[in-house]
Amino acid sequence: MLEIANITKTFHPGTPNEVRALRDVSLRLEAGSFLIIIGTNGSGKSTLLNAVAGTFLVDEGQIGLAGHSITRWSEHQRAKLIGRVFQNPFSGTAPNMSIAENLALAARRGQPRGLGWGLTRKLRQELQARIRTLNMGLESRIDNPIGTLSGGQRQALTLLMASWLKPELLLLDEHTAALDPKSADQVIRLTHEIIQRDRLTTLMVTHSMQQAVNLGNRIVMMHRGRVLHDLQGPERARVRPEDLLKRFDEVRRREQLDPAVADMLQKNYV
Amino acid sequence: MILLIGATSIGLILALLALGVYLSFRIFNFPDITADGSITLGAAVTATLLAHHWAPAVATLAGFAAGMVAGTITGLLHTKFKINELLSGILVMTALYSVNLHIMGKSNVPLLNESTLASQAEQVASYLFRGPADLNVLGWPVSIRDFAVLSGVLALVVLVGLLLYLFFQTNLGTAMRATGDNPQMIRALGVSVDYILILGLALSNGLIALAGSLLAQYQGFADVQMGIGMVVWGLASVIIGESLVGGRRIGLLIVGAVMGSILFRQLVAIALRWGLNPNDLKLITAGFVFVALVAPALLRKFKSAPAKPAAA
């Protein structure tokens, strides 16, 4: 279970570039639930994911995961509990190392690494079997450097790596945004399978309304560092991509109003 | 022949330097200038201990350990105090100059009358071959000392290379390679990038100090100036090695760094024999590394540039 309580993050405080990326965000995610976060650019959805992953420490608030308070944990400590797939297919794998070596690294996520042999024969067979389930024909190429693979193949492998040891929380940060539509479909199907099979608690950021509606059991819409809508239960079940788009339009209309109002206020009072 | 044997011995000793430089420059992409100081540190520690009649093996290991400490400090400066990579190395290298002088107590420690790994190797060899001062190798007379030193160093470098290769296959070693390849990924898999970098720099500088320790025992003295320009020599060896073996596999690259170091020293020996002014050696080495760094990119540009229509 993930519990985010009143977290706040401001980047570059006190400078002209000050960005209040997260403003008093609270979320409670039951074990096994699959939450999709949508929002406009700069709404703070990726920042929220990074706050949970520990890319930075939050200014205020608490984050709890699986019974631990992880608010002050560093990124690599949190990796014991969290599996991650990044937006950029290059981020999740080491390009000059082989497929097998990459997976062997993931097979020890969050565990101490000593002088034991890295890629044992047993592990090789195990990962070959798991790679075969991807149906990408990669099982015969496990000694090739991962940098020679396509973005879709790399994302599929990263997904496999993130879920190799069942994580308490899976973080997916627009992990299909950089892929062509066909690869994106393939990766989404795989995402669905893995999450279903292992009943993973998942937090996924996406730009695709279609993905938001088809996957997961809860949708959160963020705007300007706040949670704007939280759709669950029957409301979530009824929602269609058009409804989500309509809510985005509402937000946009309000945005357009803002500068005009500001202008008027300035004229009247300054 | 004697010239070549000497060059090969030095090349093998400096292969340890090349392996250390390979580890920092190539695995971590960390331009670690500490090497200039840590190779002298290894020499200084070993020579001083030998002058106090310590066992050569212990004195050599102490040199290795001292190098690890130097690397750890560079790593701490970079990771904990966020000092730029080059500057961290420069600070430690500069500080080591004074440290080395303090360790040795003077700028030069001779080892001619001390028991060293070299003299021990000579004793073992003359015991094995029972007597003759010269051995006949393929028709060439080779002094038993040169032969003993060469085989001893060869055995040691093969051992170190093999250990390094095995290390890179362990869980820790694989994580180290991944840290250089993609720090974001390895952090997401629960590895502290800072810790691994410090460990890697310690190992790298340990190897470099070991090279210094052996070099002092081979040439019979340690000198506070002996480390100047060593980083560039190590880098030259690594680059030559990479072009010799071609591939990207770690085993090949380790062999390549050793071969590159030997070849480099032989080229240097031949060039000096042909009358190259020794004072120009560092300038030429720097020029060579410059060309080796720039040439691949230039060649690519040259190849991919659209062919210009021939001038009428």
Span of B100-109, B118-127, B212-221, B297-306 with lowest mean pLDDT: B297-306
Q: How far is B259 from chain A (nearest CA, A)?
A: 23
Q: What is the pLDDT of residue B58?
A: 96
Nearest to B184 among A74, A91, A97 (CB): A91
Average pLDDT, stretch B215-227?
Answer: 93
User: Is pLDDT above 80 for A1?
Assistant: yes
Query: Is residue B244 one of the residues assigned to a domain?
Result: no
Q: How far is B257 from chain A (nearest CA, A)?
A: 18
Number of domains, chain B: 1
Under DSSP, the state recorded for B170 is B
Query: Is residue B272 one of the residues assigned to a domain?
Result: no
Q: Give percent of chain B above pLDDT 70.
A: 93
Rounded to whole angstroms, how far apart are CA atoms B197 and B180?
9
Residues of B in Cβ contact (< 8 Å) with A110? 189-190
Query: Is residue B263 one of the residues assigned to a domain?
Result: no
Q: Is B184 on the interface with A (CB under 8 A)?
A: yes
Question: Predicted confidence band at A258 (pLDDT cuts at 50, 70, 90)?
Answer: low
Query: Is residue B137 one of the residues assigned to a domain?
Result: yes
Q: What is the pLDDT of residue B136?
A: 67
Average pLDDT, stretch B110-134?
Answer: 80
Where do the domains of chain A lie, and which CATH numbers do they carry? 2-96+168-239 (3.40.50.300)
Contact between chains at B187 and A109 (C-beta distance less than 8 A): no
Q: Is B115 on the interface with A (CB under 8 A)?
A: no
Query: Is residue B247 one of the residues assigned to a domain?
Result: no
Nearest to A104 among B167, B174, B191 (CB): B174
Q: What is the pLDDT of residue A270?
A: 59
Q: What is the pLDDT of residue B44?
A: 97
Rounded to whole angstroms, how far apart are CA atoms A185 and A150?
14
Q: Please tell me which residue, B311 or A58, carries the higher pLDDT value.
A: A58
Q: Please tell me which residue, B93 or B126, carries the higher pLDDT value.
A: B93
Q: Please tell me which residue, B274 or B128, carries the higher pLDDT value.
A: B274
Contact between chains at B178 and A105 (C-beta distance less than 8 A): yes
**What is the ipTM for the molecules in this complex?**
0.86
pLDDT in tens, B228-250: 989 998 999 998 888 888 767 88
Q: Least CA distance to B177: which residue of chain A? A: A97
Q: Give percent of chain A above pLDDT 90.
A: 60
Rounded to whole angstroms, how far apart are CA atoms B197 and B216?
28
Under DSSP, the state recorded for A90 is T
Contact between chains at A105 and B189 (C-beta distance less than 8 A): yes
Contact B133, B75 (CB under 8 A): no
Query: Is residue B252 one of the residues assigned to a domain?
Result: no
Average pLDDT, stretch A225-250?
Answer: 87
Average pLDDT, stretch B244-269?
Answer: 88
Residue type, B305: A
pLDDT in tens, A126-169: 999 999 988 888 888 999 999 999 999 999 999 999 999 999 99
Span of A15-24, A97-106, B138-147, B245-254 with lowest mean pLDDT: B138-147
Residues of A in Cβ contact (< 8 Å) with B171? 104, 108, 113-118
Contact between chains at B193 and A76 (C-beta distance less than 8 A): yes
- A72, A77, A50: which is closest to B191 by C-alpha? A77
Expressed as residue numbers, the domain containing B116 is 2-227
Tell how far CA B211 is from the center of its chain: 6
pLDDT in tens, B157-194: 999 999 999 999 999 999 999 999 999 999 999 999 99
Q: How far is CA A51 from CA A30, A57, A197, B190, in A?
A: 18, 7, 27, 16
Span of B58-62, B139-143, B157-161 with lowest mean pLDDT: B139-143
Q: What is the pLDDT of residue B220?
A: 92
Q: Please tell me which residue, A42 or A265, carries the higher pLDDT value.
A: A42
User: Is pLDDT above 60 for B307?
Assistant: no
Query: Is residue B280 one of the residues assigned to a domain?
Result: no
Question: Predicted confidence band at B312 (pLDDT cuts at 50, 70, 90)?
Answer: very low
Rounded to whole angstroms, how far apart are CA atoms A270 and B199?
61
pLDDT in tens, A203-232: 999 988 888 888 888 999 998 889 988 998
Average pLDDT, stretch B31-40?
Answer: 95
Contact A43, A28 (CB under 8 A): no
Query: Is residue B203 one of the residues assigned to a domain?
Result: yes
Euclidean distance between the first and final Cα of chain B, in Å? 55
